Amino acid sequence: MREKLTSNYDDRQYMGSDDFELYYYQDNNQNKRTGLHSHPYYEFYFFLEGHAEAQVKKDHYMLNYGDILIVPPKTSHGIFVHDFEIPYRRFDLWLSASFYGKLLAMSRDYGYVIDAAQNDDRHVIHTDRISFNSILSKLFFIVEEDKGDRFGRSMQLRISVADLVLSINRLASEQFSPRKVTKDALYQNICDYIEHNIDGNLSLDNIADHFFLSKYYISHVFKDNIGISIHQYVAKKRLQLCHEAIMGGEPISQVYSSYGFDDYSSFYRAFKKEYSLSPRKLVAQSKIDASDAMQPSDN
């Protein structure tokens, strides 16, 4: 079903939209390439598969799954595919200068990643599988929404793109400027630790040992700030990541063990309780939604 969301490769270097354009490309054959080029809009490139090399200005980057390439306007860049025996898959998001200006007017937080690219030549964000699954879920949602004709489509797309761009900035900030650990931010540091060890042993004892603090003190601080226990937070976080991974196309048989569930039956019960449907029904519903999005409008 995801294959129906792919776009035919187009080497044009201008936008047809006033705000943004998002493409999901999958190439198996050598196509005409643009080589080094620049354009007046912002580009966010999400690498999925292939043997490809990016060049931005004079810097070269061999791309790996989960890499996000940041290209500000009027910046020389190009992607060079070395082997088309491996399918070449990626998302490509273009944002107009006027649309990005509106995001910056709402918050300077939207500008962090562009500032890093323009001022420090930091053009690539490397993500882990968990973080990139979350990004993929957002990308597929935007593509499916864009191809549909649901009520509020235009506003939903703007909200979703703004959310995606903020997520990219957050990833860049965490990678380029990691925060210093402070006692006042203990609960946030616990959340970060949980996120980065979601597939490991996240018992209260293990977390307390990591921070060299009493588990009773940690439990108290965490619940006061978050409102639920660490155990509940871990369970909800794992289920959320499983949900995003499934929506991103990852097989159910791989998802539950990847995110810390010991067996399928316990995962199934927790998932159904949290989302009021089984994992397999989520997959089926996603296919129906994608199919509906491909149907022509009656207007």
223-252 pLDDT, tens per residue?
A: 888 889 999 999 999 999 898 888 888 888
Q: What is the pLDDT of residue 1?
A: 38
- Alpha carbon separation from 51 to 9, 11, 35, 231 (Å, rounded): 17, 19, 16, 41
Q: Which amino acid is at 252?
A: I
pLDDT tens-digit readout, 151-205: 999 999 999 999 999 999 999 998 888 654 444 567 888 888 888 888 888 999 9
Q: What is the pLDDT of residue 157?
A: 96
Whether residue 2 contacts residue 249, with contact meaning beta carbons closer than 8 Å, is answered with yes
Reported as half-sphere exposure (CB side, CA atoms, 13 A), residue 161 has a value of 26
Among the ranges given (30-39, 170-179, 212-221, 253-262), the one the predictor scored with the smallest mean pLDDT: 30-39
Look up tokens 């400027």; give the residue.
177
Q: What is the pLDDT of residue 112?
A: 96
Please determine, for residue 53, whether its predicted confidence score (pLDDT) is greater than 60: yes
Please determine, for residue 43, whether its predicted confidence score (pLDDT) is greater than 80: yes
Q: What is the pLDDT of residue 249?
A: 81
Task: Write b or e for each residue in 56-91: b if 16 or more Cβ atoms lie within 10 A of its Cβ, otherwise e.
Answer: beeeebebeebbbbbbbbebebebebeeeeeebbbb
More confident site: 207 or 189: 207
- Alpha carbon separation from 105 to 108, 109, 110, 144, 238 (Å, rounded): 7, 10, 9, 28, 34
Cα–Cα–Cα angle for 283, 126, 231, rounded to 5 degrees: 55
pLDDT tens-digit readout, 263-290: 888 889 999 998 888 888 888 877 655 5
Burial of 299 (0-12, 13-18, 19+ CB in 10 A): exposed
pLDDT band at 299 (very low <50, low <70, confident <90, very high): very low
Please compute the mean of the pLDDT values over residues 197-226 and round it to a whole number.
Answer: 85
Q: What is the pLDDT of residue 33?
A: 57
pLDDT tens-digit readout, 74-128: 999 999 988 878 888 899 999 999 999 999 999 999 999 999 999 999 999 998 8
* Torsion from C-alpha of 25, 31, 36, 37, nearest 10 degrees: -60
Q: CB-based contacts of 278: which residues, under 8 Å, 6+ apart?
A: 268, 271, 272
Instruction: Report the SS3 class of residue 58.
Output: coil
* Torsion from C-alpha of 15, 99, 165, 291, nearest 10 degrees: -60
Please determine, for residue 14, whether its predicted confidence score (pLDDT) is greater than 80: no
Please determine, for residue 72, whether its predicted confidence score (pLDDT) is greater than 90: yes
